[in-house]
């Protein structure tokens, strides 16, 4: 049984973060190429499915991300859904560094976007819409191609990585 809820005003960002952290998510690395054709990637857990017909998904990128310009200008991007054993990859792409792909293996997808190996799922998207989302931008992608395989996902909950215990 959950304990009594802690009720606070949303002004306290620590409590707001903890409240938002009660929503367990998977973990993805979103990739694209910048204007110079260099591979870019950022760890993101803000993925949400939006629509099946047309097939749309969204994710959010911080306005202060070094990769912001690349994603705002990208016509195509890929959402790589990480498997349980890919925590190191998540930490890698959560770092602020322009050369993250120098040490990571990838294959270019049909549209040239970097695809990461051993992921559970992958959505290759064309950029459909970009909306203002406060201190983030909301990027909506139209899924052009998707792939998936069986396996255990990497999870994020309460500000930490977590693993799937099994079905209820
Ligand atoms: C599990 C996890 C989920 C994250 N989700 C997001 C996200 O959805 N959007 C975002 O902008 N940053 C997210 N971040 C933070 C970025 O990965 C990180 O700030 C970024 O990679 C730093 O590099 P940059 O300044 O070059 O963007 C997440 C980090 C972690 C560890």
Q: Where are the beta strands (DSSP E) in 45-163?
A: 48-51, 56-62, 76-81, 107-108, 114-115, 121-133, 136-148, 154-157, 160-163
Residues 158, 113: Cα–Cα separation, whole Å? 31
This prediction's pTM: 0.95
Q: Which of 42, 90, 133, 136 to mutate to test the pocket of ligand 1 (most atoms within 8 A of CB)?
A: 42
CATH code of the domain covering residue 44: 2.30.110.10
Instruction: Determine the average pLDDT of the residues in 137-152.
Output: 98
Q: Is residue 83 part of a domain?
A: yes
Does a structural domain hold residue 4? no
pLDDT range class, residue 11, cuts 50, 70, 90: low
Whether the per-residue pLDDT at 2 is higher than 80: the answer is no
User: Separation of 58 CA from ligand 1 center, angstroms?
Assistant: 15
Is there an atom of ligand 1 within 6 Å of 80 CB?
no
The total number of structural domains in the chain stands at 1
Q: Which domain, by its residues, includes 126?
A: 27-156
Q: For residues 124 and 119, what is the distance between their CA atoms, to the nearest angstrom?
A: 13
pLDDT tens track for 102-111: 999 999 999 9
C-alpha 60 – ligand 1 centre gap (Å): 9
């Amino acid at each position: 049984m959950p304990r009594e809820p802690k009720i606070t005003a949303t002004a306290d960002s620590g409590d707001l973060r903890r409240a938002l952290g009660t929503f367990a998510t998977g973990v993805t690395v979103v990739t694209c190429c910048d204007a110079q054709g260099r591979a870019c990637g950022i760890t993101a857990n803000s993925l949400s499915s939006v629509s099946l017909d047309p097939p749309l998904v969204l994710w959010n990128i911080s306005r202060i991300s070094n990769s912001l310009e690349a994603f705002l200008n990208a016509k195509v991007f890929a959402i790589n859904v990480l498997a349980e054993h890919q925590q190191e990859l998540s930490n890698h792409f959560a770092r602020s560094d322009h050369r993250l792909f120098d040490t990571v293996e990838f294959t270019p997808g049909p549209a040239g976007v970097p695809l990461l190996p051993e992921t559970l799922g992958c959505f290759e998207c064309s950029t459909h819409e970009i909306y203002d989302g406060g201190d983030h931008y909301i990027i909506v992608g139209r899924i052009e191609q998707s792939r998936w395989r069986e396996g255990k996902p990497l999870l994020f909950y309460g500000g930490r990585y977590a693993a799937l215990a099994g079905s209820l």
